[in-house]
Structure 1
């Protein structure tokens, strides 16, 4: 089954919205139902709505519009353009800044000219619907709900959410990962990766300093949840009846969650199983050390560009390993970190053993392979034996 990566990509997974439908609070149930209905309708529209290229040599110029709580984007009014000063509406300003920070990251760090690589304009829409509990990218624009004020706050307030959604556009214009099962979970993971990386870049945080949480700022203070997802520890972002119990994300392949490939089941659990490659990136970033947007981010971005619509976890792992070798050297610390990270989530790099990797590292001056130590000891012993023999010969000659 194939599905284009060009679809409505929402930050909130359906299992959380369905959990809210079971809440005792009538208003929470109502807003969750309205959000689910709107999301389903939007996905249906995308199935027949043509993709229109909005690329232009504009360097990602921004326009933020106000929907005035309507769901008709055509009726929205422009509030702020690229060269305009800040306005009184904080949602407009937050969306403007979030789009700009993400655009600047892709240009300054990865030399990518906006979402499509060709200067695509960045259009954002705020105040979408009434108490809409989501934010989404629909292949053309970024749309933000205000949240219901009970569970979720204004979605423009989370930079990682904005970068996550815009990265769906980057994925769409590069690998075009199909939005189901493993390619879909990888699609979601790549967005989480760069959502977190952009936030770290903005804050100037190292991989060790970062919280590695996705969506920590979209919950209201009264909600007992850290975030939507944790890349550092998938499965620990929340544990509350309000959100359906414990965070269901796995952190390794033996815990991969098998779900039907249907809309109701999140297209095979794309928001759930993304925890596996998320953990792999976290392990790479902390294994290499320093800033996640340097070697780790570059490796992931180059691997994304080299991927195809049906790339699964194994293929992506192999590609990141190959790219790490091409960029930083065979057996380099970067490549070793990638190898170890995927092993950490129970994915083995195809055709590569730990022994062969360490030998490669030694031959390239990147370390000493433990397996080579016995032969080196033997060599040293032979040299000592020969030296002893020579010394004894000299002593006899003196006598």
Structure 2
């Protein structure tokens, strides 16, 4: 039975667990709040009237733990004096732009669903999450993490959970859960690359770069290019992600290691995008998007089945030859057979 998941958060529970065990008060409080949110299954968002194209609303929780908070900026409104508000607003717009301009998808539900966010959630809250209806950002504690609106790829990552929710509905456990997390990392990275106009070679392939506070030994939460190297800090521990199936971690924690084993499909995507060259959203991203929205993925899809689906999607869009061969090779390099 799939466990009930109330939200999908960017900071894994095993990181918060470790910090809480060391007496880090902010992490302990964030862990408690995360546990509260996980009590309800992630269901399709509540029905709302579709909006004409892009429609954003940013609210301020004012360090409370009740949602949505006070509305502080709406679509087309002037910038706010609060940098967190403006970063959230701009991040929602950048995410909308990738899906709309590259994939022809109109918001995360493909029907112009309004994009909502809440900033300043809780006090020193060490996380950001998608709750099935909105993005929610903590400010971080300033000791381990800084403001979670500071990373565009984090915003793209969390909203991609909404896209998966509306499409493949990958169950948030074991390999399907790791794929759910990986898809969010892929599109989170693509949101940032598209906004910056970066090629696959120019991209850093980091998720959460700049999110770690000064003094923390690390560069990000995850590395798609080199899984397992994002951080190595006495407080955080060492990044546990494998980049090859030989290192697959079997655990009951983190819903079967969804934030850990996502490093394997993450690396496959990065290898493919780099091999194909140019802008990652044009071919590699297109293949992943076609796969996610094909209707052919079961909720419990595992790595091998997902890999085969990406090869099929590549053939459908680009024909036989270079592109599907590159997809097969990328999966092979991380230890997954796709044929």
TM-score range, shorter chain: over 0.9
Per-residue CA distance 1:3-59 (angstroms, 9 max, x = gap): 57x740000001111111233xx5xx1111100000000111x23988512351432
Q: Distance in 2 between matches of 1:301 and 1:137?
A: 20
Deviation at 1:218, TM superposition (A): 1.1
Relative distance call for 1:13 and 1:97 in structure 2 (3 A) is same
Q: Distance in 2 between matches of 1:299 and 1:55?
A: 31
For the 8 Å contact 1:181–1:269, the answer to whether it is kept is yes
Question: Which of 224, 227, 238 is matched with 1:234 structurally?
Answer: 227
For the 8 Å contact 1:55–1:116, the answer to whether it is kept is no
Aligned to 2:8: 9
Aligned to 1:101: 94
Please give the TM-score of this superposition, normalised by the length of structure 2. 0.96
Query: Residues 248-263 of structure 1 correspond to what in structure 2 (within 5 A)?
Result: 248-260=240-252
Question: Which of 13, 28, 38 is matched with 1:33 structurally?
Answer: 28
Name whichever structure is richer in helix by fraction: 1
* 2:172 aligned counterpart, secondary structure: coil
Query: Residues 191-210 of structure 1 correspond to what in structure 2 (within 5 A)?
Result: 191-210=184-203
For the 8 Å contact 2:242–2:264, the answer to whether it is kept is yes
For the 8 Å contact 2:9–2:158, the answer to whether it is kept is yes
Q: Distance in 2 between matches of 1:309 and 1:247?
A: 28
Question: Are 1:337 and 2:326 counterparts?
Answer: yes
Query: Residues 1-399 of structure 1 correspond to what in structure 2 (within 5 A)?
Result: 1-3=1-3, 7-23=6-22, 26=23, 29-44=24-39, 46-47=40-41, 51-54=45-48, 56-74=50-68, 76-244=69-237, 246-260=238-252, 265-306=253-294, 307-331=297-321, 333-350=322-339
Consecutive aligned runs of 4 or more in structure 1 exceeding 6 Å deviation: none
For the 8 Å contact 1:54–1:140, the answer to whether it is kept is no
Unpaired runs of 5+ in structure 1? Answer: 351-399
Q: Distance in 2 between matches of 1:13 and 1:108?
A: 31
* 1:343 aligned counterpart, secondary structure: helix
Please give the TM-score of this superposition, normalised by the length of structure 1. 0.82
How many residue pairs get matched? 337
Relative distance call for 1:119 and 1:51 in structure 2 (3 A) is closer
